[in-house]
Amino acid sequence: QKEVEQDPGPLSVPEGAIVSLNCTYSNSAFQYFMWYRQYSRKGPELLMYTYSSGNKEDGRFTAQVDKSSKYISLFIRDSQPSDSATYLCAMSTMGAQKLVFGQGTRLTINP
C-alpha cells in the first residue's frame, strides 16, 4: 500500500465550478499536510499548509484535514482557467527530514 494515494485524474470542470481534490494516507504519524500547485513546465509551489486536523482558508482555497479518516481535501471555489495545473498533496511527520508526495491530480478549468 502506498503511503499517500491521490487520484491522478485528469479532472476537467467548467469555469466557476467548485473543485474538490483529495488524498488518503496510511501513516497515522503524519502531522503536517500541504498542497502544492505545479503549472506546466514549472516547479511545484506551496499553495496551502495545515498542521494537524482542521480547516484552513485562503481566498478561494480551503484545505481540510480529517486525521480520523486519514483524508485530506483541497477545495477551490469559483474556479478560474488560471487554476489549471497539477495539484500535489504532501505530508510529513514531526521532525521528519522529507515530505511524502501524492501522485498529483491534473486539473483543467474550461472557460
Partner 1 sequence: ETGVTQTPRHLVMGMTNKKSLKCEQHLGHNAMYWYKQSAKKPLELMFVYSLEERVENNSVPSRFSPECPNSSHLFLHLHTLQPEDSALYLCASSQDQGFRTGELFFGEGSRLTVL
- For binding to partner 1 (CB under 8 A), which residues are involved? 2, 4, 6, 8, 32-34, 41-46, 49, 88, 90, 92, 95-104
Residue pair 27/86 in contact by the 8 Å Cβ criterion: no
Nearer to partner 1, 17 or 49 (CB): 49
Q: Are 88 and 98 in contact (CB under 8 A)?
A: no
Closest to partner 1 by CB, 8 or 16: 8
Least separation, in Å, of the C-beta of 49 and partner 1? 4
Q: Amino acid identity of 63?
A: A
What's the Rg (C-alpha) of the chain?
13
C-beta of 33 vs 83, nearer to partner 1:
33
